Amino acid sequence: MKTDKKIIRLVAKVAAVPETVLDIQTDFIRLDAALKLAGIAQTGGHAKLLVQDGEILIDGEPCLQRGKKLRDGDAFRFENRLYRIRAAGTED
C-alpha cells in the first residue's frame, strides 16, 4: 500500500519586543533601582518581591539578584518589554 507523504513547513514570525531605554548618570545601576527608575516597582520592597518571584529576566533567565549591577548596554525583561541601560555620554 502506497502512502503519500506531505511535508509541511511552518514559519513563525517573532513579534518585535517593545524596548525602553533607561538613561543613567553613573557607571552602573542596581537591578532594584532600575526597576524603580523604569516605573515597574514603586518601592524597594516591591522590587525585591518582583526579583524574588523570578519575574525579571536577564539573558532569558530569571535573575534572583536584586543587587545585580547593570551597566551600559545591559538589558532586562519584564512582562514582554525590554529595558536597556544607557550610561551618560553614550548613544544608540
Full pLDDT tens readout for the chain, 92 residues: 667 778 888 877 766 779 999 999 999 999 999 999 999 999 999 999 999 999 999 988 999 999 999 999 999 999 999 999 999 877 65
The alpha helices in the chain, defined as continuous H runs, are 31-37, 44-52
Three cell numbers, residue 42: 514603586
CA distances from residue 32 to 6, 47, 59 in whole angstroms, order as listed: 52, 5, 17
CA distances from residue 12 to 6, 15, 50, 75, 91 in whole angstroms, order as listed: 19, 9, 31, 25, 32
At residue 8, the pLDDT reads 82
At residue 1, the pLDDT reads 61
At residue 60, the pLDDT reads 87
The topology under which CATH files domain 19-87 is 3.10.290
